[in-house]
Amino acid sequence: MSEGASAVTPVGAVEVERAVEVAVVGGGAVGVTTAHDLAVRGASATLYERGAVADGASGRAAGVCYDAYADRIDAELGERALDRFREFSGTGAFEFVDCPYVILVREGDERRAEAIREGVARMRDHDRDVSLVDPTTLGGEFPDLRTDDVLVAAVARNAGYTDPGAYTAAMADEAREAGVEVREGTTARLLPGEGGPTVETDDGHEDFDAVLVAAGAHSRQVLADAGHPIPLKPYRVQALVTEADPITDRAPMCYDASGGYYLRPREGGLLVGDGCESRGDSQANQNPWDSGDGTELIERDPDDWDRDADDWFVADCAGYLETAFGRSYPVDRAWAGLCTATPDGHPLFGERAPGLYVAAGWQGHGFMRAPAMAERMADQMLGGDGIDAFDPNRFDGDEQFDIVEGMELD
């Protein structure tokens, strides 16, 4: 080990033998966790965030976490992320709460019902603790849920929820303690060229051995400016939190595939979100995700989008709560956020060019896998293997594609 290098910490498989100079662009959950994991393994890490840590998608995420994935790599990453969330719980203001995750389809939706049946079989093949349950059993375990019109349901046991902003802030503090230089309020640009990665800010430019771009919806522009385009499209999603009610002490997390809604307990109330499914022609002039024919989601400018929830969304959620619980609840607050889509629904994750890495395109599933993805990214940036299925170079970067939101069942 060269003079001045930090001691090795067993976060991943790769050991650092010298103080590698690395940078991370983006202060969300993946960015701060990667910077932390790099630093505790002996790398000299700098993190650039144009605003404040957790100010972007991570601060507006739902905080629903599970390993109930039909694809093996996703299931393994989900499991590892849950392990790390639980290990980190109690650090600063961060707390992880274990809670079952219910997936259900209502009567008249046989296509999605069959998708759940097939998906659960694949999840169980990957050793996930997920089981199909009949509506009567579901209603017995969660008596506040309306199950009289449920066609098919499954319950995932290895699941829970948390506050994404609290996680990101606590991890940023841990990263600072590990030696990461966190530069908030600093816009970072990548300089094109054939040498090693160079980051330019208003204070000048710095050369690094490796740079990770984990800037959410801004990742495409950051990489394009350096001559490395990626196929990434931001789309808008919305959520709200109801006022406190005793029902939340008994409620599970839930995804209603027929309605496209998800919910979880939060702050004594219920967080309700919309998986961004089309609302149909009746909402065509109101719904900003709808192109007018009731089927297409709209790409958003990451610097120009409405962060407030729409009135139609709040009204729709009130109607859904009637469906889910037999009554609506007063709304405490509502907001919008951005998710990012890729042509095949999988993230762009790995080395885009020599020394230049990207972690983006989460389809709404970024935060829940952040600790595991960051661990794998730190490993790859220090010489380990990447994840072949997520290799960003599977695309040229100029692909044309329609946005498909990440929660829709196949």
Q: Give the CATH number for residue 243.
A: 3.30.9.10
Phi and psi for 243 in degrees, rounded to 5? -70, 160
Q: Judge if 262 and 144 occupy the same domain.
A: yes
Q: Which helix (H) or strand (E) holds 235?
A: strand 233-242
Q: What is the pLDDT of residues 225-253, one digit of tens each?
A: 999 999 999 999 999 999 999 888 889 99
d(CA 390, CA 319): 38
Residue 64 lies in a domain: no
Q: What is the pLDDT of residue 276?
A: 55
Q: What is the pLDDT of residue 195?
A: 72
Compute the Cα dihedral for 252, 253, 257, 261 and give only its sign: positive
Residue 77 lies in a domain: no
Q: Does residue 382 carry a pLDDT above 60?
A: yes
Q: Judge if 240 and 147 occupy the same domain.
A: yes
Q: Judge if 144 and 251 occupy the same domain.
A: yes
Residue 11 lies in a domain: no
Q: Judge if 263 and 323 occupy the same domain.
A: yes
Q: Judge if 322 and 277 occupy the same domain.
A: yes
Amino acid at 308: D
Q: Judge if 104 and 210 occupy the same domain.
A: no
Residue 180 lies in a domain: yes
> At CB < 8 A and 24+ separation, what contacts does 341-346 make?
341/232, 341/233, 341/234, 341/235, 341/297, 341/401, 341/403, 341/404, 341/405, 341/406, 342/231, 342/232, 342/233, 342/395, 342/401, 343/231, 343/395, 343/399, 343/401, 344/394, 345/404, 345/406, 346/389, 346/390
Q: What is the pLDDT of residues 343-378, one digit of tens each?
A: 999 999 999 999 999 999 999 999 999 999 999 999
Domain boundary among 273, 306, 339: 339
Domain boundary among 274, 307, 339: 339
Q: What is the pLDDT of residue 56?
A: 79
Phi and psi for 150 in degrees, rounded to 5? -80, 130
Q: Judge if 152 and 266 occupy the same domain.
A: yes
Domain boundary among 339, 354, 373: 339
Which residue range(s) make up the domain with 303?
Answer: 99-157+233-339
Number of domains in the chain: 2
d(CA 255, CA 67): 14
d(CA 103, CA 142): 13
Q: Does residue 146 carry a pLDDT above 50?
A: yes
Q: Judge if 208 and 284 occupy the same domain.
A: no
Residue 7 lies in a domain: no
Residue 241 lies in a domain: yes
Structure tokens at 369: 């896998």
Q: Judge if 316 and 350 occupy the same domain.
A: no
Give residue 291's pLDDT band: very low, low, confident or very high (50, 70, 90): very low
Q: Judge if 277 and 320 occupy the same domain.
A: yes
pLDDT more than 70, % of the chain? 89
| CATH number of the CATH domain containing 348 | 3.50.50.60
d(CA 57, CA 216): 7
- The number of C-alpha atoms within 13 Å of 310 and in the hemisphere containing its C-beta is 16
**Of 5-9, 71-75, 333-337, where does mean pLDDT reach its minimum?**
5-9
Core vs surface per residue 148-158: b (16+ CB within 10 A) or e: eebbbbbbbeb
Q: Judge if 241 and 382 occupy the same domain.
A: no
